[in-house]
């Protein structure tokens, strides 16, 4: 019979957040597939776990997944761990899960820490509906385009961001999404844990004035159905001029036209027609 693939969540900072079940699974499996074996070894040493490790990261994910799938076919038990949190959440794991299912192996999740969930519940924002959007793109144009894509979602938005980009991303959020309530959760469960709350513009100003370090989760209130901050245009502004302005700010032509149409209260087709007639 095929073996079992365990997806084991590990602490996002504080090692005491490791579950008893996770420790038992890591002790009992044949091999642990770890994103960074050196990092995971510290966790294994702490809990006196002596199971053999193999590397499993974004650069060897598909090749290693095939090797691990072969082991599953032969009945092996394999645990997957990321450096922190839950495998498959902005970390390698999905492709291996897919292959495990294809070869008939059992896939068992071992629940534990998830950074975006911890940030959301501590943010003070509505958690009835949450939209997890992963990491924002590093390039400004792509980042602004991504924010435009999620701007109308009514659910609370949860994103990951690098510390050296957080101030710029907050400023982009304030401009694209409107000055919504938000929260920046930094170094969750660690010694220097910080949860900063305020409007997007307030947080942008704060984090632009200080050097930021650590893992960051950005939580932003969902759309309330009103136009974004960019929707207030000077009287007399023309549709073509607005499209050109949006393109200069990083949006592609299609996204710029869609946003300008919304701001001018036009359907996309009507905006396109007006643009052609100019």
- CB neighbours (10 Å) of residue 59? 9
pLDDT tens readout for residues 16-29: 999 999 999 999 99
Give the model's pLDDT for residue 244: 87
In terms of domains, do 123 and 216 share one? Answer: yes
Mode of pairing for the β-strands spanning 130-135 and 106-110 = unpaired
65 & 146 share domain:
no
> Is the pTM for the entire model greater than 0.85?
no
Given this model, what pLDDT does residue 224 score? 81
Residue 148 and residue 66 in one domain: no
- Which CATH number belongs to the domain containing residue 138 in this structure? 3.30.950.10
Query: What phi and psi values does residue 85 have, to the nearest 5 degrees?
Result: 85, -150
Last residue of a domain, one of 79, 113, 147: 113
In a domain, 189, yes or no: yes
Read off the pLDDT of residues 182-237 as tens digits, 9 standing for 90 and up.
999 999 999 999 999 999 999 999 999 888 999 999 999 999 865 444 444 444 56
Sequence-separated (6 or more) residues with CB below 8 Å from residue 25: 6, 8, 79, 110
State yes or no: pLDDT of 72 exceeds 80.
Answer: yes
pLDDT digits (tens, 9 = 90+) for 118-168: 999 999 999 999 999 999 999 999 999 999 999 999 999 999 999 999 999
Residue 61 has pLDDT above 90, yes or no: yes
Spatial separation of the C-alpha atoms in residues 236 and 226, rounded to whole Å: 21
In a domain, 149, yes or no: yes
Report yes or no on 177 lying in a domain. Answer: yes
Q: How far is CA 28 from CA 22, 96, 107, 275, in A?
A: 10, 20, 16, 65
Question: What is the domain range of residue 273?
Answer: 233-277
- The total domain count for the chain is 3
Is 103 in the same domain as 164?
no
CATH of the domain at 50: 3.40.1010.10
Determine what percent of the chain is predicted with pLDDT higher than 70.
Answer: 95
Is there a domain that residue 92 lies in?
Answer: yes
pLDDT in tens, 86-113: 999 988 999 999 999 999 999 999 999 9
Q: Is residue 226 part of a domain?
A: no
Q: How far is CA 218 from CA 9, 132, 145, 188, 272, in A?
A: 21, 10, 17, 12, 35
């Amino acid at each position: 019979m095929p073996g079992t693939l365990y997806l084991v969540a590990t602490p996002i900072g504080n090692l005491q957040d490791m579950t008893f079940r996770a420790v038992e699974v890591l002790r009992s499996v044949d091999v642990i597939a770890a994103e960074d074996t050196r990092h995971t070894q510290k966790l294994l040493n702490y809990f006196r776990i002596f199971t053999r490790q193999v590397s499993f990261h974004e650069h060897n994910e598909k090749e290693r997944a095939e090797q691990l799938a072969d082991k599953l076919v032969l009945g092996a038990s394999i645990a997957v761990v990321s450096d922190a949190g839950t495998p498959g959440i902005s970390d390698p794991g999905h492709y291996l899960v897919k292959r495990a299912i294809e070869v008939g192996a059992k896939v068992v999740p071992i629940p534990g820490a998830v950074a975006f969930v911890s940030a959301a519940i501590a943010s003070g924002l509505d958690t009835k509906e949450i939209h997890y959007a992963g990491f924002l793109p590093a390039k400004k144009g792509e980042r602004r385009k991504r924010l435009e894509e999620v701007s109308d979602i009514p659910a609370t938005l949860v994103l990951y961001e690098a510390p050296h980009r957080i101030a710029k991303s907050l400023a982009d959020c304030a401009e694209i999404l409107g000055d919504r309530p938000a929260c920046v959760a930094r170094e969750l469960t660690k010694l220097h844990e910080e949860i900063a709350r305020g409007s997007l513009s307030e947080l942008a100003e704060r984090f632009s004035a200080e050097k930021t370090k650590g893992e960051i989760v950005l939580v932003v209130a969902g759309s309330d159905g009103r136009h974004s901050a960019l929707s207030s245009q000077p009287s007399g502004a023309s549709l073509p001029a607005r499209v050109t302005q949006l393109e200069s700010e990083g949006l592609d032509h299609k996204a710029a036209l869609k946003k300008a149409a919304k701001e001018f209260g036009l359907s996309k087709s009507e905006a396109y027609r007006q643009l052609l007639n100019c």
